Structure 1
Amino acid sequence: MLRTVAVVLVEGFAMFEFGTICEVFGIDRTEDGVPAVEFRVCAEHPGTPVRTSIGMRVIPELGLDALAGADLVAVPACDIRDEYPPAVLDALRAAAARGSTLLSVCSGAFLLGATGLLDGRRCTTHWRYADTFAARFPNALLDPDVLFVDDGDIITSAGTAAGIDACLHLVRRELGAAPAAAIARRMVVPPQREGGQRQFVELPIPECSADSLEPVLTWMLDNIADEHTVSALAGRARLSERTFARRFVAETGTTPHRWLTMQRVLHARALLEQTQLGVDEIAERAGFGSAALLRHHFHRVVGVAPTDYRRTFAQHPA
């Protein structure tokens, strides 16, 4: 049951992610049928201003001892640093040992990671920090493609709005679907979003590290809807097939087929955002030939179906 929620603030915490936790757990919504929750804002030094990531300051009234008895201990996003306050790390470890559920939003996963509590546990963080996180906490089982990870007594979420998804999921898990839907309606957000954070990740065209194949790559992009065999591409580059394939991997980091498939997905994504073309027409223009093939490769790379992606990112109503 979720009766008490405690938020831990450290220097450089993010206001929006803190506000997300406050919005879901800190507002009395009993008139909407949501059970009452005791909400505590805590820091290492109660009564002392804690700086936010944008320079504002918040004065928590409670110290780390207020984590005792909390069903949920939440950590909003905060500045990524080499070291975190030892007292805060100890308090989080103690809360976990007492049986509290821990929740992090965005870069707050780094604070949880520093406690060692994520070792051997499934988790996530913002996609921009995934490589840094994986290097710093190699024993954590990072999944950079999802909006949040529920690993029982530890829940981690991706960037910013994904914290809302994680918080609502926890409400649904602990209090039921009706309270989660009631909070979502008040926040004017969907009770549950589809897909993961791959749909939000920038997918730039891989750059060629040398200029010998650049004319061939440019020609492939200009004729992206056409079929391209290694033999024909090697002939255009005036190389043997074996030499062409070896040089292509050396310069782009992948095979001709995989490179072209990625470019076709990128082209389809742009058409979904910028045009009102149907999925069949987009599949033809992007070189997939069929909507089924487009859906297969698009979902594999982006994480959602083309129609779902368009619903979220289209610049013009479809």
Structure 2
Amino acid sequence: MISKVATLLLDDVSMFEFGVVCEVFGIDRTVHGVPAFDFRICGVQPGEPVASITPGIRLAAGYGLDSVRGADLVVAPPPGAHSEFPNEVLAAVRDAADAGATVLSLCSGVFLLGEAGLLDGRRCTTHWEYVGELAARFPEATVDPDVLFVDEGPLVTSAGTAAGIDACLHVVRRELGSAVANTIARRMVVPPQRDGGQRQFIEQPVVACTSDNLSETMTWMSENLALPHTVDELAARSSMSTRTFARKFAAETGTTPVKWLTTQRVLYARQLLEGTNLGLEAISRRCGFGSGALLRHHFNRVVGVAPADYRRRFGNSAAERDAARRVVTR
């Protein structure tokens, strides 16, 4: 059960995530049946303005770090992943965790938890841009790059930006029940619980290749995704034996030719789902999957959601663009 909520306010705070915390826990919604939170914004020097990452905005905390130590829930909105955290802040968060508080980080706020020593031996997540750095800096943690948030009991970490809404509502649901979480979500005009993870939002660039022979073959594969390909045929095109081709391909890309080709086909399917009205069977043929069922299988595995759900969220069909143009030109 949470009643006392302390959110940290540090230099270079991200306004969106900080606003999410204030929206979920800082607004009095008792008239709608939501229990009141003793909500406190805490900083190193109460009353002294700190800078946000948004130019021209400075904020001041109303409470000091003593309020962090007495909280049921401590929230760390993101300063930058490369921020240096004051020792007194790290000590206050550690003390709160040792006293039984739940600690919640949003986006790159997880780096503060890592510096405080709270990630060792635990699963966690962050924005997909930072997962590699998080894993490198805190090797004792298990970083999950795909999910919107991770619940490790006393430690909850969220992925980037809007995933902070999911994590905050999850904590409310876990501690106070679905009815309370649903009420807050309705007032915020957001879904009380989203499906899928952050894989659907990740940009996946083509791996650079230093081998001329392989580079030419990979370019040809990308331009001919609808065709069937075998490793033997690709090796011959690269003027290599099958074994040498497979070994060099793995060294360059970190994966096998078949897995790489499947990923490129899924990436192309994403483009077609976003920008065309083509049906699933037509898309599967253009991408080289051969059937809608096979496309659904690989798309779900790579992206984390079904093709139909992805199109619903990210689709910008030709018909929609034409309609938009007509509106603009009137």
Q: Deviation per CA, 1:9-66, whole angstroms, max 9, x where unpaired?
A: 1111111110000000101111222111111001111111111122421111110111
1:97-112 aligned within 5 A: 97-112=98-113
Once the two structures are superposed, residues 154-200 of structure 1 have per-residue CA deviations (whole angstroms, 9 ceiling, x without a partner) of: 11001010000000111111111111111111111111111111111
Secondary structure in structure 1 of the residue aligned to 2:213: coil
Mapped pair 1:14 → 2:14: yes
Deviation of residue 82 (structure 1)?
A: 6.0
The answer as to 2:176 corresponding to 1:172 is: no
**1:177-188 correspondence runs (5 A):** 177-188=178-189
| Offset from partner CA, 1:132-170 (integer Å, 9 cap, x none) | 111111111211111000111111001010000000111
Matched with 1:273 is 274
Partner of 1:242: 243
Q: 1:256 and 2:257 equivalent?
A: yes
* Structure 1: stretches of 5+ with no match in the other structure: none
**In structure 1, distance between residues paired with 2:211 and 2:244:** 15
Report the more deviating stretch, 229-238 or 300-309: 229-238
User: Which amino acid letter does the alignment assign opposite residue 151 of structure 2?
Assistant: D
In structure 1, C-alpha distance between the alignment counterparts of 2:272 and 2:120, rounded to whole Å: 41
Over 3 Å counting, the alpha-carbon distance change for 1:11 and 1:82 in structure 2 is closer
Greater CA deviation, 167-176 or 222-231?
A: 222-231
Q: Does 2:75 match 1:74?
A: yes
Q: 1:9 to 1:284 in 2, by over 3 A?
A: same
Q: CA deviation at 1:234?
A: 2.5
SS at match of 1:160: coil
* TM-score calculated relative to the size of structure 1: 0.95
Q: 1:280 to 1:134 in 2, by over 3 A?
A: same
Distance of 1:152 and 1:120 partners within structure 2: 13
Partner of 2:323: none
SS in 2 for 1:217: helix
Report what 2:190 is aligned to: 189
Q: Letter of the aligned partner of 2:27 in structure 1?
A: I
**Residues 153 and 252 (structure 1 numbering): CA distance in 2 closer, same or farther, change over 3 Å?**
closer
Whole-angstrom distance in 2 between the partners of 1:253 and 1:57: 45
Alignment of 1:98-137 (within 5 A): 98-137=99-138
Deviation at 1:68, TM superposition (A): 3.6
CA distance in 2, matches of 1:241, 1:103: 50
Report the more deviating stretch, 163-172 or 225-234. Answer: 225-234
Superposition pairs of residues 201-216 of structure 1, within 5 angstroms: 201-216=202-217
Q: Paired residues, what number?
A: 318
How far, CA to CA, are the matches of 1:120 and 1:286 in structure 2?
Answer: 41
Q: Give the stretch that moved more between structures: 131-140 or 215-224.
A: 215-224
Give the equivalent residue in structure 1 for 2:5: 5
- Partners of 1:208 and 1:268 lie apart in 2 by 23
**Superposed displacement of residue 237, structure 1:** 2.9
Structure 1 residues 234 and 104, CA gap change in structure 2 (3 angstroms) = same
SS in 2 for 1:206: coil
One-letter identity of the residue aligned with 1:278: G
AA aligned opposite 1:66: S
Inter-partner Cα distance in structure 1 for 2:61 and 2:303: 40
Secondary structure in structure 2 of the residue aligned to 1:189? coil
Tell me if structure 1 keeps the 8 A contact 2:107–2:159.
Answer: yes
Question: What is the Cα deviation at residue 92 of structure 1?
Answer: 0.4
Q: Give the match for residue 40 of structure 2.
A: 40
After superposition, the C-alpha distances for 1:95-119 in whole angstroms (9 at most, x for unaligned) are 1111111000000000011000111
The separation in 2 between residues aligned to 1:296 and 1:129, in whole angstroms, is 28
Corresponding residue SS for 2:41: strand
Residues 81, 130 of structure 2: 8 Å contact kept: no
Q: Tell me, what secondary structure is at the counterpart of 1:213? A: helix
* Deviation at residue 210 of structure 1 after TM alignment: 2.2
Deviates more, 1:183-192 or 1:275-284: 275-284
Contact 1:295 / 1:306 at 8 angstroms: preserved in 2?
A: yes
1:18-33 maps to which residues of 2 (within 5 A)?
18-33=18-33
- AA partner of residue 208 (structure 1): C
Residues 100/253 of structure 1: CA separation in 2 closer, same or farther (3 Å cut):
closer
The farther-off stretch of 46-55 and 156-165 is 46-55
Instruction: Structure 2: state its 5+ residue gaps.
Output: 321-330
Contact 2:150–2:157 under 8 Å retained in 1: yes
Alignment-mate amino acid for residue 14 of structure 2: A
Q: In structure 2, what residue type is equivalent to 1:264?
A: R
Q: CA deviation at 1:223?
A: 1.8
- Asked if structure 1 preserves the Cα contact closer than 8 Å seen for 2:69 and 2:92, the reply is no
Q: Give CA deviations for 1:192-246 in whole Å, capped at 9, x if unaligned.
A: 1111111111111222222223332222222211111122222333333233333
SS, match of residue 47 in structure 1: coil
Instruction: Please give the root-mean-square deviation of Cα atoms over the aligned residues, in Å.
Output: 1.6
Is this contact kept in 2: 1:49–1:57, CA < 8 A?
yes
Q: Residues of 1 paired with 2:250 and 2:88: CA distance?
A: 49
Report runs of 4+ in structure 1 exceeding 6 Å deviation.
none
Tell me whether 1:297 sits opposite 2:294 in the alignment.
no
